[in-house]
Structure 1
Amino acid sequence: MFTLTNPSALLALLGLLVPLAIHLWNRRPGREVAVGSLRWLAAGAKRRLRNLRLEQVWLLLLRAALLAGLAVALAGPQWRQPRPAGRGQVLVSRALADGSSLAAVRPTLDSLRRRGYALRWLAAGLPAITSAEWQADSLGRKNLTSNALADKLYWARIQQAADSFPGQPLYAVTPAALRGVGGPHPALPASLTWQTIPPRTATTWLQAAAASADSLRLLLGHSDEKQTTFRVVRVARPRPGATLAVAGLPPLRYEIAAGQPRLRPTAADSAQPQPGVPVRTGPVRVVLYAPAGAAEEARYLRAALRAAAVGLPAPLALTVSTTVPDAASAPDWLFWLSDQPVPAAWRAQVPRGLHLWQEATGAGLADTATLATAETADAPPILLTRRTRLALPAGSQPRWADGRGRAVLAELTQAKGASYQLATHLAPGWSTLAASPALPALLLDLLATNPQLGIDSLLTAYDQRRLDPAQLPARPLRATASQTPAPVAYRLTDLRPWLVLLVAVLFGLERWLAQRRVISSSPLSPSL
């Protein structure tokens, strides 16, 4: 089927009037005729005007075809042919690469495989699943499991499959966990059937640990299909090399390596392997610098920091100062609530492990936005009424964002530390952050030694929260290919190169005919 990608370019066909006008008004040189009286000249001229007619019709047709070919080439002609539909593609997440996870849907997948459907991993490049891999998976072997974040971007991978296999039905099988469906949600093809496998059980893990003189404070995470929660457990501090037993966790060995104590699982859990967790030996030291003009804002921030400390495994050592503190104290955090520049001595501490918090300076600009984070989803909206005029530091990443996608808190990582730039203030004239009950949760996400602690951060591999099925296509996996009409895909062939070649041939032929016309109309030289 012949189609045009730019039909409006056919308006160039109006140029066909040009060669027609040339042929109608391009008169030949008149012949010299001897007449006996001038009265015959006027009659001869009128007769020529009344008898205007086309001459050199083949040359006219060539020029018209030349212009028509150029106009059609500009319109983008293509030849569309139906592409034969394939059997279909079954896309399996690598996170399900064990026999127990796929047991519920394996009969359906095997049936599709016998019908000619291709099996592929829902991962980068959509690699094919070989017969050996599928047989190994059926035996419950886990050598194929991948926890890479790139293999869990299911929306993007399914969109890639739809683009790579147009016209073929797609069957995606993924875990029902929420952690694999981040990012934008593209429009999915109508031929997609998405089956989710619910998690087997809830999971508990050791998120962080801190040590005092005679005890350990363990921050334990627990996640099920509804929520992820954390709690603090205090146990007696064991001797180096001893094993610690905590309910819900595998045995933990207390080790000291290079002066740093660690808790390492002695028997890794087969479902969720747990790495060693460093044990913090000191408090979280925070310095809050607030000159006289920032006293009210400092009061709000101090209360929020103390509330956030409840979720920390280590105690909080908070110092509030109205004078510039000494950089030699080397705290973990410095909250700088002043419009004055941060001294160079403090900035030099950032690559060594300091976390520096700064707020907007100057009068700022009026704004109407709302903070958009997971911590604030169930709390009253946090309004942002003013924001900084200055651009955020180059290379920084948004840690908090508003409903328009603009960064509210930007993070710039520097070696062991980081700088944080708040685009607004905690003061009531700038935002409602100070009055929000979600502020401690937002600060806890920052103060935690593990950046994956917060609900709004990158979720750990232990997150078992379940995706709402309403976000997925409602068609069941048991639908067969005969029940589902396969979409029609087309193969498009660009005809412009052939049209350009035809125009070039017509142009050469037109030049040859025009040259012949010039030679034939030139006067003959007299005979000698």
Structure 2
Amino acid sequence: MHFLYPIGLLALAGLIVPFMIHLWNVKQGKTVKIGSIALLGESSRASAKSVKINDWLLLLLRCLLLALLVLFIAKPYFKKIAMAENRTGWVLLDRATFKQVFDSNKKTIDSLLRKGYEIHDFNVGFKTLTLKDTADDQTKPAINLSYTALLHSANQFIPASAGVYLFANRRLTHFGDELPMLNYKLNWIPLNQTDTLSSWITGYAGKKYEAKSNPSNTTYQDLNSGDEAPINIAVHQAPGTADGKYLIAALKAIGSFTNRKIMINSRDSKADIGFWLSGDAVTANFKSSITTNGILFQYESGKVVAEPSFINLDGRHIKLSKRIASTNNTKKIWTDGFGNAILTKEKADALHIFHFYSRFNPAWNELVWDGLFVKALMPMVISTENTAAFGFENNPADQRRLSARQNMVFHPSETESTMKNARNVPLQPLFWAAAILIFVTERILSFRKKTR
């Protein structure tokens, strides 16, 4: 027997109460009638005390009743183990292609069904299917979740260590960034597919590419190299500071990586992006030098908070020593270890404004020394609507497939299998029934004693 709240057992100390009541038994004195009270002194007390237990059964019942109430508070339960070895396995396939898959793999599926395997739809909910569903020609919506998400979700439905046969293709477009960890033995049977070639035109960071894909790889060819318009950037920094040199070095790295021409503080045309690296208020002239719907990145001023923390950026922690206290409720882009805003964004005055509550200065943080500095600035310098990760899109025409040598089978340990198949059976109803029975018995005995 286990307890959900074992701290509730401390209330068992209350069992001392019925013991004290029974031990400190107060008896009423006996009245004696006499003819004269002339010779009597001060009247004595009309009661006597006896440190003795006279009714052990009644004491036991009251202690049991108290103990049952305490156990009920601790919420006892019994852990029932269901052995995974006695469970049958699953056959997973897409209902939309059930007939084609069954016709091509009839012997394998029939053999698994004779062993007790169940057929389930490889989709959200994993609905049970029968061979009658092979006659269903109705199409269904495409799977919105990736294979990675579905296989991971199946951990909650399939008994641990059970065998699973999955009939599906292995195209990479069905997977996420990582392969799932499985608590069951997966046997992937790829569908028969001929090698195909495909191509498409895609745009990224203002450039056009031709993509060519086959089951082994996908390549991209630049179609208009050197034809992109330059990116004009205006940088203003406070006198006596060196923040601008770190920023300009990062901007040059972005230009070199993307082969885009970046013009800094050019007076020939308006700036696409303006960096205001000063705690002073942004001047009206600087704002007007930025194109409509352009980007303004500005330092914020206010109370300086000097406390050790970190900038939470792209899953990494960048050391943070000082920040500006934020009172702005705009959308948070970067935060520190306590959830305070480090970078926020809003749309105002026909500009996309980024509010920075720190500085490009090693005395404030170590961002300028980290390789993530360039990557963090990329969404502001070269905007793209295709992907927030600044890589090529996951195109439906991509023919790449997961390698046959890539194995996702995960064999759980014996402990993990036991935990996976354990079921908690609550015992509160039994304790309630026992408590009611004992209470009724205690009341009957107490009433009879009082009557006598």
* TM-score, normalised relative to structure 2: 0.65
- Counterpart mapping for 1:231-250 below 5 A: 231-234=221-224
Q: Find the partner of 1:496 among 407, 428, 432.
A: 428
- 2:384 aligns with 450
Deviation digits for residues 266-298 of structure 1 (CA, Å, limit 9, x no counterpart): xxxxxxxxxxxxxxx983653424145387433
Structure 1 residues 334 and 448, CA gap change in structure 2 (3 angstroms):
same
Superposed displacement of residue 395, structure 1: 5.5
**In structure 1, distance between residues paired with 2:372 and 2:352:** 23
- Counterpart mapping for 1:435-474 below 5 A: 439-453=373-387, 455=389, 460-461=394-395, 472-474=408-410
- 1:356 aligns with 296
Structure 1 residues 517 and 130, CA gap change in structure 2 (3 angstroms):
same
- 2:25 aligns with 26
Deviation digits for residues 57-87 of structure 1 (CA, Å, limit 9, x no counterpart): 4432331221122122123223444558542
- 1:244 aligns with none
**In structure 1, distance between residues paired with 2:71 and 2:198:** 65
Q: Find the partner of 2:203 among 199, 208, 212.
A: 208
Kept after mapping to 2: 8 A contact 1:350/1:418? no
- Counterpart mapping for 1:304-323 below 5 A: 304-309=250-255, 316=261, 318=263, 320=265
**In structure 2, distance between residues paired with 1:226 and 1:345:** 54
**In structure 1, distance between residues paired with 2:348 and 2:131:** 47
Kept after mapping to 2: 8 A contact 1:350/1:414? no
The answer to whether structure 1 residue 154 and structure 2 residue 131 are counterparts is no
- Counterpart mapping for 1:89-488 below 5 A: 89-91=90-92, 111-113=111-113, 115-121=115-121, 123-128=123-128, 145-146=142-143, 148=144, 151-152=145-146, 154=148, 157-158=150-151, 160-166=153-159, 169=162, 171=164, 173=166, 175=170, 177=172, 180-182=175-177, 190-193=183-186, 195=188, 205-208=200-203, 218-220=208-210, 231-234=221-224, 283=229, 285-293=231-239, 296-309=242-255, 316=261, 318=263, 320=265, 332-342=272-282, 353-359=293-299, 361=301, 365=306, 367=308, 369=310, 373=314, 384-391=319-326, 394=329, 396-398=331-333, 410-411=344-345, 418-431=352-365, 433-434=367-368, 439-453=373-387, 455=389, 460-461=394-395, 472-475=408-411
**Paired amino acid for 1:492:** N
* TM-score, normalised relative to structure 1: 0.58
Structure 2 gap segments, 5+ residues each: 35-47
Secondary structure at 2:439's aligned position in 1? helix
**In structure 1, distance between residues paired with 2:451 and 2:338:** 73
Alignment RMSD: 5.8
Instruction: Tell me which moved more, 194-203 or 285-294.
Output: 194-203
Deviation digits for residues 70-125 of structure 1 (CA, Å, limit 9, x no counterpart): 1221232234445585423445689x979999999997667545534334455443
Kept after mapping to 1: 8 A contact 2:98/2:134? no
**Paired amino acid for 1:357:** F
- 1:524 aligns with none
Structure 1 residues 294 and 228, CA gap change in structure 2 (3 angstroms):
farther
Structure 1 residues 348 and 59, CA gap change in structure 2 (3 angstroms):
farther
Structure 1 residues 170 and 219, CA gap change in structure 2 (3 angstroms):
same
Structure 1 gap segments, 5+ residues each: 36-47, 212-216, 237-280, 377-381, 477-484, 521-528
**Paired amino acid for 1:320:** N
The count of residues paired between Structure 1 and Structure 2 equals: 428
**In structure 2, distance between residues paired with 1:414 and 1:133:** 56
Q: Percent identity?
A: 21
Secondary structure at 2:77's aligned position in 1? strand
Structure 1 residues 14 and 486, CA gap change in structure 2 (3 angstroms):
closer
